[in-house]
């Protein structure tokens, strides 16, 4: 059941749209500015509840999501505004400088950037901070009370979302990589609880189950740019449906040299 809104906090949405200000580009040859989907981007309105970024690997969806997170004051490797650790320099230090977030007159009471591949590093940082002397309760108490390292990847992800996320601006990069199909359904419930608490989410995903959330916009990243499309028009939906409708037929197409 969803928690009540925090007292004294104005609910979201928090970011109306993302502006791509090309006058801020210092290195136009940087790889981020050569991605086809981003080449002609000028602005991208965001849904006041959930916005999905979808597309093939390398299409630019995670690159843009990361840049929005950094522009929002979040750590490139993940975490809240209070996280500032770095284990590598894999993120683009150029694209976020060209972005301007057009905000509503509301400050998000909480914000988080969650990268599937860096959840391990986030868990390590939480444990490190808790080893330092502090006058407050252990940080892990806000994450379910059990080290994320002592849980499976999927359990740690669900624990993080269920216990730490509440009302705020949340950016998630391919959350399905940690989740079984059943856990993805559980994540949809948690998403809905967050939306009910007036949170705003941006999610880059390949999962048809996750992107099926009904009150959302879906932006498809492709060689032709970024286009808003319906769930049923996504390649993810159609390829998955075609396969599940008749796996044998798909197998005959994929493996024509195998007798079936």
State pLDDT tens for residues 217-249.
999 999 999 999 999 999 999 999 999 999 999
DSSP 233: G
pLDDT of residue 1: 38
Q: Would you call 35 helix, strand, or coil by DSSP?
A: coil
State pLDDT tens for residues 176-197.
988 999 999 999 999 999 999 8
Beta bridge partners of 200: 169
Domain ranges of the chain: 15-245
Confidence of residue 28 (pLDDT cuts 50, 70, 90): confident
pLDDT of residue 2: 41
State pLDDT tens for residues 101-154.
999 877 888 999 988 666 666 667 666 766 777 666 666 666 666 666 666 767
Q: For 40, left (φ over 0), alpha (ψ -120 to 50), or beta?
A: alpha
Place of tokens 């216990």: 163
CATH classification for the domain delimited by 15-245, as one of 3.40.50, 1.10.10, 1.20.1070, 3.20.20: 3.40.50
């Amino acid at each position: 059941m969803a928690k009540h809104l925090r007292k004294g906090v104005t609910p979201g949405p928090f970011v109306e749209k993302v502006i791509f200000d090309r006058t801020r580009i210092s290195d136009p040859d940087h790889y981020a500015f050569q991605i086809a989907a981003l080449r002609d981007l000028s602005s991208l309105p965001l849904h006041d509840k959930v916005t999905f970024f979808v597309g093939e690997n390398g299409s630019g969806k995670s690159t843009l999501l990361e840049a929005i997170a950094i522009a929002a004051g979040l750590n490139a490797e993940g975490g809240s505004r209070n996280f500032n650790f770095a284990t590598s320099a894999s993120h683009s230090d150029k694209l976020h400088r060209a972005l301007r977030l057009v905000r509503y007159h509301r400050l998000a009471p909480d914000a988080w950037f969650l990268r599937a591949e860096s959840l391990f590093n986030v868990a390590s940082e939480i444990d490190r901070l808790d080893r330092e002397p502090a006058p407050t309760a252990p940080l892990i108490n806000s994450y379910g009370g059990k080290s994320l390292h002592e849980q499976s990847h999927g359990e740690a992800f669900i624990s993080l979302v269920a216990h730490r996320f509440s009302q705020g601006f949340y950016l998630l990069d391919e959350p399905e990589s940690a989740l079984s199909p059943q856990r993805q359904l559980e994540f949809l419930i948690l998403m809905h609880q967050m939306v009910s608490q007036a949170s705003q989410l941006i999610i880059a995903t390949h999962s048809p189950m996750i992107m099926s959330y009904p009150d959302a916009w879906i932006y498809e990243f492709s060689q032709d740019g970024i286009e808003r499309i319906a769930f049923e028009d996504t390649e993810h939906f159609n390829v998955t449906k075609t396969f599940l409708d008749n796996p044998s037929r798909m197998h005959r197409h994929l493996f024509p040299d195998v007798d079936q």
